[in-house]
Amino acid sequence: MKEYLEKNEWSIIERGFDPKKHMISESIFSIGNGHMGQRANFEETYTGDTLQGSYMAGVYYPDKTRVGWWKNGYPESFAKVLNSTNWIGLSIIIDGEELDLNKVKVTEFVRELNMKEGYLQRTFSAELDNGKLLKVKSTRFVSIVDKEIGAIKYEITPINFSGELEVTSFLDGDVKNVDANYDEKFWNPIHHAVNENRATVTVQTKKLNYQFCSTMETQITQDGQMLNLAGTAKEKEKYAGVLYQIPITKEKTTTIYKYVANVTNRDHAEDQLQMVSANELEKAVSKGFDTLKEEQAAAWKAKWLNSDIVIEGDVAAQQGIRFNIFQLNQTYSGEDARLNIGPKGFTGEKYGGSTYWDTEAYCLPFYLATAEESISRNLLIYRYNHLEKAKENARKLGFEKGALYPMVTMNGEESHNEWEITFEEIHRNGAIAYAIYNYVNYTGDERYLGEYGIEVLVEIARFWEERVNYVAKKDAYMMLGVTGPNEYENNVHNNWYTNRIASWTMQYTQEVLEYLKKTDLELYQKWVNKLGLRDEEVDKWTDIIEKMYYPEDKELGVFLQQDGFLDKELIPVDQLDEKHLPLNQNWSWDRILRSCFIKQADVLQGLYFLNHEFDMETKKRNFDFYEPMTVHESSLSPCVHAILACELGYKEKAYEMYLRTARLDLDNYNNDTEDGCHTTSMAGTWMAVVEGFGGFKIANDELILRPFIPGQWKSFSFKVLFRGARLKVIVDQEKVTVKNETDISLTIVVYDKKVELQGNEAITIAN
């Protein structure tokens, strides 16, 4: 697709309105605050193609499962993020003609997502059928300060006429999800009311009884003067609005302010919802739009202070990485451990808004390095809180002990219903254990292990213990019938990555048990008792660790993705005619399964996670073997390849891999951005810059850097928070500068050399 967004360092800008690109833009220009999110739908009526999306984090619907062939063990429902009450709606009628960008002539259309200050703005001129010309400017945001507040400023200026404007400012809870298994609506009406300039609508999900209450106030000014208008109430089921009729004068601007408080019974008592939303609204209205917007800018400034990446000499790259960081910060803010990060964030319905292994495997490093500790800790607590459900899930599938976390979830229960993923993609359990290691390794918060971590680790280790089978003839433990991260192979035996991460989990669990025993015997004993942990179990893990079978080819010196991988016809992707790519759109599933082509990092995912366990030669042989056969048809894949390529000194490859996701959505690289953005893969892009080009990692309580700069860039810099300090790392073609922006001194390792970095000091090293 032709690039259509203007390159700009701090904004995403679309000039000219093209209805064919509107749904893509609706995704890209989405706004969110971790609590709620809103696609860039127009405030006014739009009868062209659109995907309406107002999402409230954690409010979901268990849509009854629909499958062709039922298999025992499938979940009864698929949890979906809900398209909720449309709170942005403004119907605009000028002298009897409705403003609808699908019907009027639109010129000078500019849409801007201001990432620096966190708002969406749109300006355009419209010529109505009756020849009337008007200019419109709308600005809106969801506040990252007052999480339940959304605010809109909508300005209309007639250019060649004076006449009458009819505005209906409304809340509409009669909305649908496009992705509904049985094409039903998910919301029931509860209450609606209009009181002068205020209106309120409460709706409730047909299952689970989530209540969503929106309350709005509309204010209208002309020439900066508030109009004292008596509106007309417009009410119907699940809908409340106020209609205003306003004389408008040529060249004079009428401004409509709409303030909305969206609250749910997830956060407040059900019988208080209307009162809470009215109170929140009151606070927002008394601050006023400009103050709310200033507070928004200040809060975003603080976010950027910790998380910005600056790339000099490449505006496209700069815009791409800032967009990714912006979307990640819009999606998850970490105060609420019941929430998580859906693969599309708040930008679409696809993937149900649910939690995948993406969180632990790809997103956690971003939040570890750019936000306070409690935020990544909450991502771990989320899984801790789902432990009982994960145990139930394992029982449901016939395991006597242990926990199997779901592949896709909202509330801890499995939501996914494709057997090869639901039942077989069990490697996800390993990522959840790995995240505990990653968190503790990064933060040094070892208390977490004794408070929560150990329980999760033991239950996952137990699952692996039961899932492997001992093959006496080979005196080895095997794991049969799995799907590895590479979903282009199903029901394989001994997926190297799964076997390795399983065995690693058991080993790490043993280490944590030893650590607890040594440091706090009482606590250790408490857990042994609570978990009913027996010595024989731990010994069994040792036996499995020692005798786990790992497919490998000694001659090639590579780990085999699974048994039989070498029996495939091994062809590099670059020998395929372009017309076959992407395979998932051009080949039958059967053909994909039989081929050697790899959807996403699999063996290499293991080399990334357990990087310290393998020498350079091993990493190099495996990278050289697998990279040419990898089609990267999951956007989660290139980042891992980029990081390894950096480590191996494959600079061009690293940059090529980085580019594949850096602007994935901005350039609609996969032709699917209209469904929503690839939010979790954005964290992968961040990893590619910081862990790849920056060579950033934490090992043995030390912060390690080994930066290299792509030839295409003049310089790049990133920020990381580490043990209370904030460092800014600036890399140009000659040198690396590390600035300590805090008072906390620390020792870091740059290109294998230890350097003492005092508080507020900067050091420079040639690269």
Interacting residues toward ligand BGC by CB under 6 A: 343, 351, 356-358, 485, 487, 600, 634, 636, 680
Q: How far is the CB of 57 from ligand BGC (least distance, A)?
A: 18
Instruction: Kindly give the pairing relationship between strand 762-766 and strand 552-553.
Output: unpaired
Q: How far is the CB of 343 from ligand BGC (least distance, A)?
A: 4
Compare residues 304 and 356 and give the one whose CB is closer to ligand BGC: 356
The catalytic residue among 148, 465, 487, 633 is: 487
In sequence order, the β-bridge partners of residue 198 are 195, 217
375-388: burial string, b at 16+ Cβ within 10 Å, e else: bbbbbbbbbbebbe
Torsional sign, CA 146, 147, 149, 152: positive
Compare residues 55 and 351 and give the one whose CB is closer to ligand BGC: 351
In the annotation, is 487 catalytic? yes
Pinpoint the alpha helices (H) of 149-288. Answer: 273-287
- 600 annotated to a ligand binding site: yes
CB 220 within 8 A of CB 227: yes
Q: Report residue 418 as tokens.
A: 């494709």
Of the candidates 194, 159, 196, 189, the one whose C-alpha atom is nearest the C-alpha of residue 175 is 189
Q: Which helix (H) or strand (E) holds 221?
A: strand 211-222
Q: Which amino acid is at 612?
A: H
- 358 annotated to a ligand binding site: yes
Q: How far is the CB of 159 from ligand BGC (least distance, A)?
A: 47
Instruction: Kindly give the pairing relationship between strand 746-750 and strand 702-705.
Output: parallel
Compare residues 130 and 589 and give the one whose CB is closer to ligand BGC: 589
Q: Distance between CA atoms of 466 and 505, rounded to whole angstroms?
A: 13
Q: How far is the CB of 358 from ligand BGC (least distance, A)?
A: 5
Query: HSE-up of 697 (CA within 13 Å, CB side)?
Result: 18
Compare residues 505 and 681 and give the one whose CB is closer to ligand BGC: 681
Torsional sign, CA 235, 236, 239, 244: negative
Q: Distance between CA atoms of 193 and 198, rounded to whole angstroms?
A: 8
Compare residues 347 and 634 and give the one whose CB is closer to ligand BGC: 634
In the chain the first and final C-alpha atoms are separated, in Å, by 38
Q: Which amino acid is at 330?
A: Q
Dihedral over alpha carbons 139, 144, 150, 153 (to 10 degrees): -20
Compare residues 112 and 675 and give the one whose CB is closer to ligand BGC: 675
Work out the angle between the directed axes of helices 496-519 and 521-531 (0-180°, nearest 10).
Answer: 130
CB proximity list for 507: less than 8 A, separation 6 or greater: 541, 545
Q: Which residue ranges are tagged as binding site for substrate? A: 357-358, 599-600
Q: Which residues are known binding-site members?
A: 357-358, 599-600
The residues assigned a catalytic role are 487
